[in-house]
Amino acid sequence: MDKRQYKYIGKSPDRSEALEKVTGRAAYVHDMELPGMLYAKALHSPYARAKIVSIDVSAAKALPGVKAVLTGEDAPYLVGLYMIDKRIIAKDIVRYQGEVVAAVAATDERIAEEAVSLIKVEYEVLPSVQTIDEALEAKILVHEDINDLEYMKGVFFPQKDSNIASWNKTVRGDVEKAFEESYLVVENEMYLPAAAHTPLETHAAIAEADPYSDRIKIWSSAQSPFAVRQLMAKSFGIAESDIQVIIPYVGGGFGGKAGIHLEPLSALLSKACKGRPVKYKATREEEFNQLPTRAAMRGRIKTGVTKDGKITAMKVYYDWDSGAYADYGVNVGKTAIYSGAGAYEIPNVEIHSRTLYTNKVFSTAYRGFGHLETHWVIERQMDMVAQKLGIDPYDFRMINILGPGKTTVSGEVITESTGSPSDCLKAVAREINWTGYQSEEEREIQRKTGKVRGKGLALLHKAPAMPAFTSTASIIQIDGDGKVKVMIGAIDIGQGANTAMRQIAAEVLDIPLENVEVVWESDTQKNPYDWQTVASKLTFMGGNAVIKAAEDMIKQMKEVAAQVFRCDVSKLSHGDGYIYHVHHPHKKLSYGNLARGYSYENGNAIGGVIIGRGTYIADGLTNLDKETGEGLPALVWTYGAHGVDLEVDLETGDVHILKIASAFDLGQAINKKMIEGQIMGGVLQGIGSALSEGLKFNAEGKLLNPTFTDYKIPSAKDIPDEIVPILIENPQADGPFGARGVGEHPMISVPSVIGNALYDALGINFHKLPLNPENIALAIAAHHTS
């Protein structure tokens, strides 16, 4: 189809559910009340690592209004995505400050809270694992039973008698030989702290567990209903089909609501209360401290280059301070071995990624997981190597950049269809008028004003991190009035996916947008399967599934129409809501006339109910080799780049962003307005990670900033003067209308580009996040005294 002929693709229709959201009628799990519903509250460990000596719940149980009090004894179940390592309620030992040690269900939240305060726990405090080095030393094991834990084999590699939940590797070529032959070798160590997703709606789940059978009904703020179902079934040892998961509106996810969280605990409480529905709504403090975060990470990188700037070798150790349970953490670590060299061709490479257990709140997926972190290391390193070589960092990137015919570190050969990182880098460099680093003299002139400008560039790439067998599906039903209802299994958590799916269905069926509805509330009893709403895969995989379902629907309608017109199906076409004969266009039947079978005048009917069906499974992916990391991990790469122009206040260390330009090769825009929304929002989240955010722990592993007061996310007053989204459209041959995913990418490399611009402004290379006024002012002071 010719691009210019699209009616809905690439346009900017309003968000489908906007009306419900601006009138306060959109109901989230937070807002749900069910008949007989009880309220849950939990008691949390005050210690990072301790033995539970005894728990006395008698006073809590005796409180009027309390219906159930559960401890670890009552919850003998392990749960986990990739490592089955986490108890629903801690038993015998607690592994992080904030871990649930007991839970209460009561007739209202106040009684539940009071009951929690009446539970007496005796702990024996134990020394804990707090740092990456302590984790690697393995003097203390966070999981003493690590050798016996069940895990996903062939994908993750836990190490015996250690705190290493998975050690993934890529080894390609001969790095040591290449380092020896290099003109220059540059080594650096980079670090970034753990970060919180902070969706405005905290996690919430309601469970209704039938006490007389295995059936469990869940309403959850989850991103991935089918994953909740599968993981809960595995944990409880019941059938997947006995669990129903319903997702109403979700108040933001960013990866933190993927996987399984409050659902099993709510279900156990419900079961203990004779099946009354139990609601567990996390407090803001629990959101920070009980529910998972983005892991802290240390990257140690060594790069070898030729004199003219060709990278010959790279060796990196990525060590993830991933907290007490593996959750998504091991998969975050896995991304590093196929993505963690950046969007560059590097002939000799060795990447080690170790996801480490520590006694801290555990970590999970966070928007573009693994990528913001590894790109903080890679993209800062690119600038630091360019500085040493005396080459413009733009030119240094262009010399090494991936493109058609070049090979990734996993051995995948890039083609025209993969997209163009260099188009992205060129676009942002042009937008910020990049002319190279300023000289020390130019800096000195600016210093007198108290403020110094600086510019920077950074590149990024990301592919969905998902199992090779990932699949999704769509069902389209049609009414007698010719209007269709599309059902998918993935969840619109605010990214606008349902609006994009609506545009795709309208385009393929060639009917007005108003005639397409994507059914909102997702229900595993009704919606077709989807693996998970993660990884920026929905537009690509869901879009392809919707296209196939719409085409299937057209095919069925043509088959009936061919009988009516007594012609071959090949003579029929479709458009404007009709199936028509290509040569005799007056011979036409509306979709509505075919929706439930076609009736002749004498009442005789043919055909039947038309239902379109489309499925899509990840194409050609493989697991990565245990030793070399070789394989095909990427269904779709999306490349991008940022350019930034900023100003630093030399006295306060405050960074003010004048302009940030962000380009992404997304193949084909489906909804421009919503893509720009993803870019604006993602870039600001990246700015949060860069400039202000980070969890702080004391020496005993207690989280010190579990509130919005002390964990600052950007407000409206912290936005850049200008964010310029640039959409680059080199189509992907197997993408829906050529499209690629872009939901997560805007956040990646934002800290790196700001770090690079700070070098340009100050002549100082920063190695640690966040780049808050305190850290910048201290670095300026240290730089001047040295």
The order of strands in the sheet holding 611-617 is 516-518, 484-488, 471-478, 611-617
* Minimum CB distance to another protein smaller for 463 or for 493: 493
Residue selected from 110, 177, 526, 656 as contacting another protein according to rule CB under 8 A: 110
State yes or no: residue 71 binds another protein (CB under 8 A): no
Considering CB under 8 A, how many residues would be counted as binding another protein? 69
Residue selected from 242, 285, 510, 630 as contacting another protein according to rule CB under 8 A: 285
- C-alpha span between 350 and 341 (Å, rounded): 9
Residue selected from 17, 423, 431, 760 as contacting another protein according to rule CB under 8 A: 17
State yes or no: residue 454 binds another protein (CB under 8 A): no
State yes or no: residue 507 binds another protein (CB under 8 A): no
Q: Is 736 helix (H, G, I), strand (E, B) or coil?
A: helix
* Minimum CB distance to another protein smaller for 470 or for 532: 532
Residue selected from 54, 715, 785, 786 as contacting another protein according to rule CB under 8 A: 715
Task: Specify whether 744 is catalytic.
Answer: yes
* Minimum CB distance to another protein smaller for 21 or for 51: 21
Residue selected from 250, 727, 728, 753 as contacting another protein according to rule CB under 8 A: 250
State yes or no: residue 654 binds another protein (CB under 8 A): no
The distance of closest approach from Cβ of residue 770 to another protein in the complex, given in angstroms and rounded to an integer, is 17
- Scanning 78-86, 130-138, 148-156, 713-721 for contacts with another protein by CB under 8 A, the matching segment is 713-721
Question: DSSP assignment, residue 74?
Answer: G
Buried b (16+ CB within 10 A) or exposed e, 27-53: ebbbebeeeebbbbbbbbbebbbbebe
State yes or no: residue 539 binds another protein (CB under 8 A): no
* Minimum CB distance to another protein smaller for 251 or for 528: 251
Residues 288-317, one symbol each (x = binds another protein by CB under 8 A, - = not), give -xx---------------------------
Residue 189, both tokens? 């160590």
* Cross-strand partners of 728: 665
State yes or no: residue 62 binds another protein (CB under 8 A): no
Residue 424, both tokens? 């992205």
- Scanning 165-173, 247-255, 298-306, 729-737 for contacts with another protein by CB under 8 A, the matching segment is 247-255
Nearest to 236 by CA among 129, 37, 87: 87
The distance of closest approach from Cβ of residue 93 to another protein in the complex, given in angstroms and rounded to an integer, is 17
State yes or no: residue 717 binds another protein (CB under 8 A): yes
Residue selected from 206, 409, 460, 674 as contacting another protein according to rule CB under 8 A: 674
State yes or no: residue 43 binds another protein (CB under 8 A): yes
Run of H or E residues at 311: strand 311-321
Residue 521, amino acid: E
Residue 611, both tokens? 């239902």
Q: Is 33 helix (H, G, I), strand (E, B) or coil?
A: coil
The distance of closest approach from Cβ of residue 590 to another protein in the complex, given in angstroms and rounded to an integer, is 31
Instruction: Answer yes or no: are the C-beta atoms of 303 and 381 closer than 8 Å.
Output: yes
The distance of closest approach from Cβ of residue 190 to another protein in the complex, given in angstroms and rounded to an integer, is 25
* Minimum CB distance to another protein smaller for 33 or for 395: 33
- C-alpha span between 446 and 268 (Å, rounded): 63
- Scanning 157-165, 181-189, 314-322, 700-708 for contacts with another protein by CB under 8 A, the matching segment is 700-708
State yes or no: residue 751 binds another protein (CB under 8 A): no
Helices (H) and strands (E) in the chain, counts: 19, 33
State yes or no: residue 493 binds another protein (CB under 8 A): yes
State yes or no: residue 750 binds another protein (CB under 8 A): no
- C-alpha span between 749 and 346 (Å, rounded): 19
Q: How would you write 95-164 as a 3-class SS string?
A: CCCCCEEEEEEECCHHHHHHHHHCCEEEEEECCCCCCHHHHHHCCCCCCCCHHHCEECCCCCCCCCCCCE
Where does residue 337 fall: left (phi above 0), alpha (psi -120 to 50 degrees), or beta otherwise? alpha
State yes or no: residue 25 binds another protein (CB under 8 A): yes
* Minimum CB distance to another protein smaller for 263 or for 287: 287
Residues 196-235, one symbol each (x = binds another protein by CB under 8 A, - = not), give -xxxxxx---------------------------------
Q: Is the peptide bond before 770 cis (omega within 30 degrees of 0)?
A: yes
CA angle 40, 257, 271 (to 5 degrees): 35
State yes or no: residue 684 binds another protein (CB under 8 A): yes
H helix runs in 42-102, sequence order: 58-62
State yes or no: residue 31 binds another protein (CB under 8 A): yes
Q: Output the CA torsion sign for 734, 738, 743, 749.
A: positive
Nearest to 755 by CA among 707, 701, 690: 690
The distance of closest approach from Cβ of residue 110 to another protein in the complex, given in angstroms and rounded to an integer, is 6
Where does residue 20 fall: left (phi above 0), alpha (psi -120 to 50 degrees), or beta otherwise? alpha
First to last CA, the chain: 63
Q: Is 682 helix (H, G, I), strand (E, B) or coil?
A: helix
Phi and psi for 245 in degrees, rounded to 5?
-120, 125
Residues 473-492, one symbol each (x = binds another protein by CB under 8 A, - = not), give --------------------
* Minimum CB distance to another protein smaller for 25 or for 626: 25
Phi and psi for 67 in degrees, rounded to 5?
-105, -25
The distance of closest approach from Cβ of residue 602 to another protein in the complex, given in angstroms and rounded to an integer, is 46
* Minimum CB distance to another protein smaller for 3 or for 25: 25
Question: DSSP assignment, residue 747?
Answer: G
Burial of residue 786 (number of CB atoms within 10 Å: 0-12, 13-18, 19+)? exposed
* Cross-strand partners of 297: 192, 320
State yes or no: residue 656 binds another protein (CB under 8 A): no
- Scanning 195-203, 382-390, 413-421, 762-770 for contacts with another protein by CB under 8 A, the matching segment is 195-203
Residue selected from 6, 20, 152, 564 as contacting another protein according to rule CB under 8 A: 20
Residue selected from 251, 403, 489, 543 as contacting another protein according to rule CB under 8 A: 251
Residues 579-638 that bind another protein (CB under 8 A): none
State yes or no: residue 28 binds another protein (CB under 8 A): yes
Residue pointed to by tokens 């800062």: 380
Q: Is 342 helix (H, G, I), strand (E, B) or coil?
A: coil
Residue selected from 74, 208, 263, 286 as contacting another protein according to rule CB under 8 A: 286
* Minimum CB distance to another protein smaller for 114 or for 392: 114
- C-alpha span between 723 and 136 (Å, rounded): 41
- Scanning 107-115, 150-158, 466-474, 582-590 for contacts with another protein by CB under 8 A, the matching segment is 107-115
State yes or no: residue 63 binds another protein (CB under 8 A): no
* Minimum CB distance to another protein smaller for 14 or for 774: 14
Q: How many residues does the chain have?
A: 786
The distance of closest approach from Cβ of residue 708 to another protein in the complex, given in angstroms and rounded to an integer, is 4
State yes or no: residue 680 binds another protein (CB under 8 A): yes
Residue selected from 7, 11, 26, 398 as contacting another protein according to rule CB under 8 A: 26
* Minimum CB distance to another protein smaller for 10 or for 612: 10
Q: Output the CA torsion sign for 136, 138, 140, 143.
A: positive
- C-alpha span between 754 and 654 (Å, rounded): 12
The distance of closest approach from Cβ of residue 373 to another protein in the complex, given in angstroms and rounded to an integer, is 19
Which listed residue (416, 517, 744, 774) is catalytic? 744
Nearest to 495 by CA among 538, 461, 452, 528: 538
- Name residues whose C-beta falls within 8 Å of residue 711's C-beta, 6 or more positions apart in sequence: 196, 198, 288, 693, 695, 705
Cα 335 to chain centroid distance, Å, stands at 12
What are the residue numbers of the active site? 744
Q: Where on the chain is the footprint of another protein (CB under 8 A)?
A: 14-15, 17-28, 30-31, 43-44, 46, 98, 110, 113-114, 116-117, 119, 121, 123, 197-202, 249-254, 283-286, 289-290, 493-496, 673-674, 677, 680-685, 706-709, 713, 715-717, 719, 723
